[in-house]
Amino acid sequence: MALLGDPRRRDALRLLAGVVPALGVADAAFAAGPRLEPLELVTSRGVARFQVEIAATEAEQRKGLMFRKALAPDRGMLFVYRKPQRAAFWMKNTLIPLDILYIGPDGRILSMVRNARPHDETPLPSGGPVLGVLEIAGGRAGQLGVLPGDRVRHRIFPKG
């Protein structure tokens, strides 16, 4: 509490308040939160549109959706790999159930895990090489009728 009353801290906060509006567009977007990209799941029932965060770096992939308390039905996280590889996810430090969709290099869902249990440290393998992995809210894949073989449309996958 004493730090809040410290005049130096108040001055620093005033300075930041003046700097943030002067930031460029890219910096302002970063300050507002993660950058979202469009992604579509194409199933026999139709097309479901999502806005996804991209986990491209090793640090982003290590953290994933850990510690999140909620995930909107139209949001997700796409883990992107430089080249196709086998993957296995676990739910350590993940507070909410997730559906995990393993996506092959052709943009088709290779395999999936429905309602992965929070805090479970059991590895959940892809069953083959994948170029991406999509995490969405647990139960959402079932609501949408998502099945292996369905297509994911996103800039990292070939058009088709």
Residue range 60-103, pLDDT digits in tens: 999 999 999 999 999 999 999 999 999 999 999 999 999 999 99
- Per-residue pLDDT of 26-69, as tens digits, reads 334 334 567 899 999 999 999 999 999 999 899 999 999 999 99
d(CA 126, CA 64): 16
How high does pLDDT run on average in the chain?
A: 84
pLDDT of residue 33: 62
pLDDT at 108: 98
Q: What predicted TM-score, i.e. pTM, was given to this entire model?
A: 0.79
Helices (H) and strands (E) in the chain, counts: 5, 9
Distance CA 133, CA 113 (A): 11
125: left (phi over 0), alpha (psi -120 to 50) or beta: beta
Compare 122 and 4 and report the one with higher pLDDT: 122
Residue 55: predicted pLDDT: 94
Sequence-distant (6+) residues with CB within 8 A of 72 are 137
